[in-house]
Chains A and B, each alone.
Chain A
C-alpha cells in the first residue's frame, strides 16, 4: 500500500521534473509559429513566415510597417557563430587529441602539473577567462574579431576534447599498439590504423561537445568579439532593449533540432563504441 503510494508520487515527481525542464522549450517551438510580428508572447495566429523569412522567402507578416526587419543581421550573426564554432572545433579537436595522446603515452617531468593546467580553463569562471583574454589580446596587439574569438574558444575547448579523448584512451589496451609495432608498422601507420580508429568515438564526441559549447558561449565571446564578429548569442543579448524578435524563436527551434541531431550522433557513436 505504502509502497505503491510512494511509487505513484515518484512517478508524478518524475513527470513534473520533465515538465519543468521541457515546457519552456516547447513554448519556444510553439511561439515560433506565432503570427504576431511585434509581441512574441501574444498569440495571433499560425504562420510559417519566420522560417520562410530566415531562408530569404517573401513573407506577409514582415510587410507590417511596425515590424523591424533585421533578418539579414540575424543571419549574419548565425553565420559568424557557425564559422567560429567550426574553426574552433577543428583546432581544439586536433590540439586536445594530441595533448591526450602525449599524456597517455609518454612520461615526462611535471606531467601531473601539465595535466592539472589542462583542467583549469574548464573550472575557471567565464567572466575571468573573458576579461583575461581581452586584456591579453589588447596587450598583444591582436585586433578583436572572428580570429580572436576562435583563439579564445580554443583555450577552453581544448580542455574538453582532452578530457573526452583521455577517458577513451584510458580504456584502451596499450598492448595493441605494441603488437602493431611488433608486426613491423611504424608509428604513423600504428596511429592511423590502430590508435585513431580506437579513439575515434572519443575524438568525435569531443568535437561535437566543442561545437555546441562554442555556438552557445556568450560571456567569453562578448568580451573578445570585435568588428564584424557579432555571434548569435551576443546579438540576441543586444536585442533585449527592443524586445526579442519572433525570428529568434524560429532560429532557436532550428538550433534545437540541430542540437538534437548532434546529440543523437553522439549517442550513436557512443553506443557503437560500447558494442565493440
Chain B
C-alpha cells in the first residue's frame, strides 16, 4: 500500500509538471486556433490517455473524435467493407503489413518530421515500412509470466515455469495459438514466425507433453493468480498494473529464454478526410512529454527514446516495462504468415484435442 501511495504521488507530480510544461509551451508557441477542424481516431478501447487528446485540441483547435474497436480483425473488416471517415487507426505490426498490402495506408513521410529522431529505430518493425515512411510506432509490451510470490518466491525462466507443476503448483497459459506455439518455438531457440514443418512438429510435441500440467488455457488468469489458485500464468505486460497495485504479492517477469512482444503503430488511412490534421497529431505525439504522458497512464512501453526519462520512476526503472537492450533483443514479434498460418492451425488443433 505504501509503495502504491508513493507511486501514485510520483505520477501525480509527473502529471502536474507536464501540465505546467505543456501549458507554458502551448502559450509560447501558438495561441489556440478555433477552427472547425476535426480528427477522427479509430483505436482500441481505453488505449490512449484522454488527456493527450485534450492537450491536442487545446494546442491546435482541432476537435478529436474517438471511436473504438476490440481487435485488429474487427477494424480491418470494417474498413474493407468500405467504412470511411476515420483518419488514424492503431493496427498491430502484422496488421499494418496486411493493410499495407491492401493499399489502405497513406504515406505520411512522418520520418521526415523533426520529432522522428526521438523514435527508437528498433521499433520500426513492420516489414512493409522499414524506414517509418508510413506509420509511427505507438506503444508496445512483452508477453511474459505473472506469478504469485507467496507461492513462488522467484521465477526467471520458462523452464522454471514449466517445472512448477512437478512441485504441485498450478500454471496457466493464454488461450492463444500464436502465443503458445511461440513459447514452444522460443524454447527450441527458433523464430516465433517459423513455418518449418519439423520445428513446428517439435513445438507440437512439447506442448502436448506439457498439456496435462497446464491447469487452464485462458485470458482471465489474473484473478486466479491473485487468489493463489494458479501460481503462475503466461500474461501480458499489462499485468504490471496489478503488480504495482500489490507488489508484495505479485510479480511480472520477462523470462530469460526470451518472450514474444506486441506493438501497435499509428497509421493514417488512404481514405482519411483530414490527412493534414492526422499528420499534425502524429507530430504532436512525437513530443517526448506527450509520449510520456500516454505511457505513464497506460503503463506500457513507448518507442520514444526521449520520453523514457520523463516516465515515473516505477515504470522507467522497471525491467519488465523498459527492458535493457540485451533483453529487448530476446523479444520476438509476430509477423503475418500468410498461408503458413495453416500449419499453425493444424498444430494448435492437435494440441487442443490431445488427451
B32 interface contact, C-beta 8 A: no
A-B interface pairs (CB < 8 A), number: 105
A3 interface contact, C-beta 8 A: no
Interface string of B22-39 (1 = CB under 8 A from A): 000000000000000000
Chain A contacts for B168, CB-based, 8 A = none
- Chain B residue nearest to A148 (CB atoms) is B83
B174 CB to closest chain A CB, in angstroms?
13
Chain B contacts for A235, CB-based, 8 A = 45, 68
Whether B297 pairs with A68 at a CB distance below 8 angstroms is yes
C-alpha gap A5/B312 in the complex (Å): 66
A135 interface contact, C-beta 8 A: yes
Residues facing B in A184-229 (CB within 8 A) are 222-223, 225-229
Chain A contacts for B49, CB-based, 8 A = 68
Chain A contacts for B299, CB-based, 8 A = 66
Chain B contacts for A145, CB-based, 8 A = 85
Residues facing B in A76-101 (CB within 8 A) are none
C-alpha gap A134/B47 in the complex (Å): 26
Chain A contacts for B244, CB-based, 8 A = 66
Whether B50 pairs with A70 at a CB distance below 8 angstroms is yes
C-alpha gap A69/B293 in the complex (Å): 13
- Chain A residue nearest to B65 (CB atoms) is A228
Contacts known (A143-B85, A238-B70); A227 close to B40, Cβ less than 8 A: yes
Whether A38 pairs with B68 at a CB distance below 8 angstroms is no
Whether A65 pairs with B12 at a CB distance below 8 angstroms is yes
A42 interface contact, C-beta 8 A: yes
Contacts known (A41-B223, A66-B241, A242-B46); A144 close to B68, Cβ less than 8 A: no
Partner of A239, one of B46, B86, B296: B46
Contacts known (A38-B245, A138-B81); A68 close to B298, Cβ less than 8 A: yes
Chain A contacts for B297, CB-based, 8 A = 65, 68-69
- Chain A residue nearest to B11 (CB atoms) is A65
Chain B contacts for A68, CB-based, 8 A = 46, 49, 297-298
Whether B46 pairs with A227 at a CB distance below 8 angstroms is no
Whether B242 pairs with A144 at a CB distance below 8 angstroms is no
B164 interface contact, C-beta 8 A: no
C-alpha gap A25/B86 in the complex (Å): 36
Residues facing A in B56-86 (CB within 8 A) are 65-71, 74, 78, 81-86
Per the CB 8 Å criterion, the residue count for chain A at the interface is 37
A21 interface contact, C-beta 8 A: no
- Chain A residue nearest to B81 (CB atoms) is A134
Whether A227 pairs with B238 at a CB distance below 8 angstroms is no
Whether A63 pairs with B8 at a CB distance below 8 angstroms is yes
Whether A72 pairs with B50 at a CB distance below 8 angstroms is yes
A153 interface contact, C-beta 8 A: no
C-alpha gap A245/B44 in the complex (Å): 14
Whether A63 pairs with B40 at a CB distance below 8 angstroms is no
Residues facing A in B284-298 (CB within 8 A) are 296-298
A237 interface contact, C-beta 8 A: yes
Contacts known (A72-B50, A134-B81, A229-B67); A239 close to B226, Cβ less than 8 A: no
Contacts known (A63-B12, A65-B312, A229-B67); A242 close to B47, Cβ less than 8 A: yes
Interface string of A124-149 (1 = CB under 8 A from B): 00000001001100100001110000
B321 interface contact, C-beta 8 A: no
Chain B contacts for A223, CB-based, 8 A = 78, 81
Q: Which of B49, B68, B85, B238 has the most CB of A within 10 A?
A: B68
Q: Which of B46, B82, B223, B242 has the most CB of A within 10 A?
A: B46
- Chain A residue nearest to B13 (CB atoms) is A65
Whether A65 pairs with B67 at a CB distance below 8 angstroms is no
B152 interface contact, C-beta 8 A: no
B7 interface contact, C-beta 8 A: yes
Residues facing A in B235-261 (CB within 8 A) are 238, 241-242, 244-245
A137 CB to closest chain B CB, in angstroms?
8
Whether A39 pairs with B242 at a CB distance below 8 angstroms is yes
Residues facing A in B71-111 (CB within 8 A) are 71, 74, 78, 81-86
Q: Which of A68, A138, A143 has the most CB of B within 10 A?
A: A68
C-alpha gap A37/B43 in the complex (Å): 22
Partner of A42, one of B40, B81, B86, B223: B223
Chain A contacts for B66, CB-based, 8 A = 73, 230
C-alpha gap A143/B8 in the complex (Å): 43
Chain A contacts for B12, CB-based, 8 A = 63, 65
C-alpha gap A39/B12 in the complex (Å): 21
A8 interface contact, C-beta 8 A: no
Contacts A/B (CB < 8 Å), 26 sampled: A38-B245, A39-B242, A42-B226, A64-B4, A65-B10, A66-B245, A66-B299, A68-B46, A73-B66, A134-B81, A135-B82, A138-B82, A223-B78, A225-B67, A226-B85, A227-B65, A227-B86, A228-B40, A229-B67, A230-B67, A230-B68, A237-B45, A238-B44, A238-B46, A238-B68, A241-B47
Q: Which residues of B contact A (CB under 8 A)?
A: 4, 7-8, 10-12, 40, 44-47, 49-50, 65-71, 74, 78, 81-86, 222-223, 226, 238, 241-242, 244-245, 296-299, 312
In the complex, besides A73-B66, A143-B84, A239-B46, 12 extra interface pairs with C-beta distance below 8 angstroms are A38-B242, A38-B245, A63-B8, A65-B11, A65-B296, A66-B299, A69-B50, A144-B83, A223-B78, A225-B67, A227-B65, A228-B65
User: What 4 pairs across the A-B complex have the smallest Cβ distances?
Assistant: A238-B45, A65-B11, A138-B82, A238-B68
